[in-house]
Every structure is written in structure tokens, then in C-alpha cells.
Amino acid sequence: MDFALARTNMVKSQVLPNDVLDESLLGSMMKVERENFVPQERRFMAYSDQAIPFAEGRRCLTPVQIGKLIEACKVPSGGKGLVVGAGSGYEAALLATMGLEVVALESDAALVEQGKQATEGMAVSWQQTEPADGYAAGAPYDVILVAGSMLEVSTTLADQLDAYGIMVSVVGAASSDVMQVIRIVGRTGVHHPEKLFETRVDPLPVAAGEEVFEL
């Protein structure tokens, strides 16, 4: 399979037509080899518009979802990023290629090892922990991307933002067919959440007792 051609087609036929226009992001999606971030037996699906299963009960975000969520983060040319529920690291790799130093949080030990291999040589550091706890040791962050849905906006994660940092997350019940993409700016942004668009993604593995802010 010609993965380079498939990568180009993904950007031109899926991402661009859905109004993802950030040049740095598009350039990163053209560079990062997504086939290295999906299970070996599903590499042929890497550039499809489907949510690809990659672990028990979890599926990758689609290219369009990834593009729209990262574009909503207004990624600066430098700074620090946090990916919550990083899976095998594709979103983290994109942010690193865009110029951020990225912390990737993942609770699944096998995925952490896969992610380390896939992002070798990139500005991505991995932490095996409950993603919803964030990683306060690396805070504050300019960008926090939550790569899975949560019931509500997390104040725990928001507290780890820089004063003008941006967090983008998908909010909604796991049983819901429609979820809201929410953007907040700064640690106090939970009080002024911005609803961007609707989508649906699989839930983020969340530990019991996570503090949330009700919209």
C-alpha cells in the first residue's frame, strides 16, 4: 500500500473539505506517518475516515475529528502541550511536529510502550498514569488536548493550564449520540466555556472521583 499517497488523500479529501485550514497542522498531518500509530493488522485503515479500534473498548479519533480538535487549540509555534488519553501517540506526534514539547498521558502500559516507539526522536515524553489526573509536574501548559470524551469539563486539568493556555475537550455522557466540543482559556476558563461544535468520541478512561465542573 502507498501510505504516502493515502496520507495526502486523507488531508485533501477528508480534512481540508471540513474546513481545517491551519497550515502548520496540515503540514504535520502530511508528515506524521499514522500507520505507525495503529495496530499492525489495521495499518491498511490508517488513513480511512473510520474510528479504528486500537485497544479494548477504545477507538482512534477520525482524521477529521483530530484536525478540528487540534485546530481549536490554536497551537502556538512553541510551548508545552499535554495530551490526555494519548493512546499510541498520534495526536501527541502532531503537536510535537507543530513545535510543542508534549507530555503524553496514558494509563495502558502496552500503549505507552507502543507510543514511545512511535514517537521516538520527537519532543514527546510519556507518563503512565490516570489521564484525568493530568500531569501537574509539567504544568503550566499552553495546550491541553483531551483525546476522549468526559462527562463534564475537568477542573483538575484546567488548573494545569497557563494563564492564557487553551484546553479542548469533548463533553457528554458515554451513552449520548451527540457530544459538545468545549474550549476553555486559562485556569478560570471553566466558568466561561465556549461550545464549538458537536461530535461523538469514545469515553476517556477516567478514575472514580474525578472533580468536574458542571456546565
Which is more confident, 77 or 56? Answer: 77
Listed in sequence order, the DSSP H helices in the chain are 3-10, 23-31, 63-72, 90-97, 109-118, 155-158
Asked whether the beta carbons of 128 and 112 are under 8 A apart, the reply is yes
Whether the model clears a pTM of 0.75, i.e. scores above it, the answer is yes
For residues 136-146, average pLDDT:
98
Strand residue runs (E) in the chain: 53-55, 58-59, 80-84, 101-106, 124-128, 141-150, 153-154, 161-171, 179-185, 194-199, 212-213
Kindly list the domain boundaries of the chain, sorted by start residue.
Answer: 3-213
Taking only the tens place, the pLDDT of each residue in 9-26 is 999 999 999 999 999 999
Report the top-level CATH class of 3-213: alpha beta
Taking only the tens place, the pLDDT of each residue in 163-194 is 999 999 999 998 888 999 999 999 999 889 99
